[in-house]
Structure 1
């Protein structure tokens, strides 16, 4: 979702109201996803930053439940597409169809024309079908037979994939990974959360417990508010230094791009507002660097075979690059 430029600074009072609304949404989503507060906060921060979310985890951890819970929390349209090897690009974007009554072609919008699109098991579709999402994720519009059709805001893709199962899957290309603001995983719930889920086993689909709390217009308005959060030049320099260090890191073929840096800045603003602050701290950058940057790092083949991971690269860079001293005033 592209947020219209707004030079209005976020005030402490506005940040406080944002944090209250954000907390209500977190509690709402946690009716479906129990015991995963940090992941829920990351996902909602992604929504209010205007980005797209990639949930990567083994089956049965609640990826689809989280995506559906977020979609149901917004009083807009949400659609789900089960990605399969035989899915065609037009099955996602739509296309021109012949109308026998008028004798003309008319546009049939695909499921991508919605506010929140759940792309379930996205890595099961062919690269050609995966690429159908690229323009929509970057430009909030879809081109059908040379004509551009804008998407309604907010527009968010929540994609899920299983990183373990390789048969019948197609790895996401780097260009598409770079369009996801956050990649995160849920993991298994702790013993207490598991016991609660088992006690409430009668709820086969916990996302049905979710009531809508915010309108699409409300999402856009709060996104503009978060965009006004202050970022000190020292924090900007810190993010730039992190990106530069990833490009020099051993075993890295492609480091964090400028787009990755911009994404981290925008996400940090939302994260700060969600905690009731009208300014970003270096701690926000430390908290968000792995989910916002790790999937943008491309390792060379030798590093991958030696066991190096993108997450490990980001964590090592964070330990090297000194965080700035910071004053909130």
Structure 2
């Protein structure tokens, strides 16, 4: 049996009794027609089962209808929510989403973004790199939206509430009676600088010090590695603020194995409010940064840039989700 060939744009034109140019303009939305003509075109496309060729369409319009999204760590569930939000908005507007994972590597991130730039209409970049490590970014020729605050980089960024969120966490711990607080950070990340500064500012206002520890990667293994150093160290600790939930989960596991009780011996807080927070023991107090909504806003902003419009959406404010890994205690005199 001879295989039936796929319908072409010429077939659609014949069925709708219009020119091939009219079909092309209708499919690519470069021109509107009368309701009667558009109805005939829609009927012909549906009855023939015609699907436009994205590659051919991009050659005609100069647009691929694809957006690029770069994230630093596929294993972190926070980014799963962000990707879901981004993909939802992209699909709504007829775009595909092309995702890459930089794996927190500066050299890998540059190569990925340079390659991705050639295949998409615009890029959304969630980078942990600092400004001085990204001087090359100006060489990219497509519209860009960043997921964090970049001084002097214009409106192509999603502002962040990292400093405010960390200040909120520290304030809650101080009001709950904690006086010996440690921070486990990830100094390769821009967000870490703001979170540490927010927590430190709050504690200084209350006459308290903030011990700092640093991870090599933002993983449960690193949280576990630092737990014994902190809990068995020479300086007492009654609360630990972790850069993210992944680190906090590792800390909780190791604390239990060392024989410590959380939160009786030490309260623990993370950032991102990933789904695992409800399933560890004890359930982890965390800051919900609104990752899924941020993904939606960033994608809408990029699409608006591509269409020459202004975005109006405001970012969600961080929310402290209290669970069993934190509790109140009587302030001591230390």
TM-score by length of 1: 0.26
Q: Which has the larger radius of gyration?
A: 2
TM-score of the two chains, using structure 2 as the length reference: 0.26
